[in-house]
Chains A and B, each alone.
Chain A
Amino acid sequence: KAGVTQTPRYLIKTRGQQVTLSCSPISGHRSVSWYQQTPGQGLQFLFEYFSETQRNKGNFPGRFSGRQFSNSRSEMNVSTLELGDSALYLCASSSDRGQGYTFGSGTRLTVV
Chain B
Amino acid sequence: DVKVTQSSRYLVKRTGEKVFLECVQDMDHENMFWYRQDPGLGLRLIYFSYDVKMKEKGDIPEGYSVSREKKERFSLILESASTNQTSMYLCATGDSPTDTQYFGPGTRLTVL
**A in complex with B:** no
Residues of B participating in the A interface, judged by any CB pair closer than 8 Å: none
Residues of A participating in the B interface, judged by any CB pair closer than 8 Å: none
